[in-house]
Amino acid sequence: MAVLDFDYMLGLIPILLGYLPLTLELAGIGMVLALILACLLAVVRVLAIPVINHFAIVFISFFRGTPLLVQLFLFYYGLPQLFSSLTVIGGVTATILGLTLHFSSYMAESIRAAIIGVDRSQTEAALSIGMTNGQLMRRIVLPQATRVALPTLMNYFIDIIKATSLAFTLGVTELMGATQKEAAGSFLYFEAFIVAAVIYWIVVELLSKLQHYLEARLNKAYSR
């Protein structure tokens, strides 16, 4: 077995860390947009709002039913073939678009499950005192659903961070892209990818800490 080149690994850390902000930007923006879209989709589904409900069902079915890489290729390579002016969708935008649509379809289903999980009697009580659908959602259902949905939503966020590693196929040099290129230049594949793996791992660990903190806060009302 060959010996690992630790000097190379140490030298690589600052270089690869330079690409972490872009990775976090893709994931962060993707997560926020996906969350907003997922909430809308979930509410539409739960309330079974006519017409839009059918749109939501097809949307979720498509974006959950096809691989993210296929969707990214569709946005980035496919659309400009139909409309040449769509090359204005750059690699970063296409990645965020793909992450948003793909993960919103998953998140919509977990949010919907969390909403359904709120006891039906509470909905009936709220409606009986004259709350509108909007008030019911905002004041009664969503705050409770948030607590239930949080762990799975954090799971998706972690998944989004790792999914940004697909962006290099669209020419976006983020953490994974930078690692692949450095590895190709040095032939030290194990060293390069282990550094990248540890960086991803540490980021995800920090997020897990944030998750525990948020969970503890949301559970305050329930603890005795």
Partner 1 sequence: MKTLLINTLLMVSLFTTTPLLAQDDPLRVGMSGQYFPFTFVEQDELKGFDVDIMNALAKEMGREVKYETANFSGLFGMLGAGRIDTVANQITITEERKKAYIFSEPYVYDGAQVVVKKGNNEIQGVEDLKGKTVAVNLGSNFEDLLQELPYADQIDIKTYESNLERDTALGRVDAFVMDRVSASQIIKEKPLPLKLAGPTFSSITNAYPFKDTEKGRALRDEVNQALATLRDRGTLKDISEKWFGTDITRP
Count CB-CB contacts under 10 A for residue 167.
Answer: 26
Check residue 35 for interaction with partner 1 (CB under 8 A): no
Q: Do 102 and 68 meet the contact criterion of CB atoms below 8 Å apart?
A: yes
Asked if 187 is part of the footprint of partner 1 (rule: CB under 8 A), the reply reads yes
Nearer to partner 1, 118 or 167 (CB): 167
Of 26, 37, 60, 175, the residue at the interface with partner 1 (CB under 8 A) is: 37
Number of Cα atoms under 13 Å in the Cβ half of residue 147: 13
Stretch of 73-81, 128-136, 201-209, 211-219 contacting partner 1, by CB under 8 A:
73-81
Amino acid at the residue 189 = Y
Q: 27 vs 118, which CB is nearer to partner 1?
A: 27
Q: Considering the rule CB under 8 A, would residue 71 count as an interface residue with partner 1?
A: no
Contact 101, 74 (CB under 8 A): no
Q: Classify residue 93 as exposed, middle or buried by CB count within 10 Å of its CB (0-12, 13-18, 19+).
A: middle
Residue 6 buriedness (CB in 10 A; 0-12 / 13-18 / 19+): exposed
* Binding positions for partner 1, 127-186, rule CB under 8 A: 168-171, 173, 177-178, 180-186
Residue 43 beta carbon to partner 1: minimum distance, rounded to whole angstroms: 15
Q: Which residues bind partner 1 (CB under 8 A)?
A: 11, 15, 18, 33, 36-37, 73, 76-77, 80-81, 83-89, 93, 97, 100, 168-171, 173, 177-178, 180-187
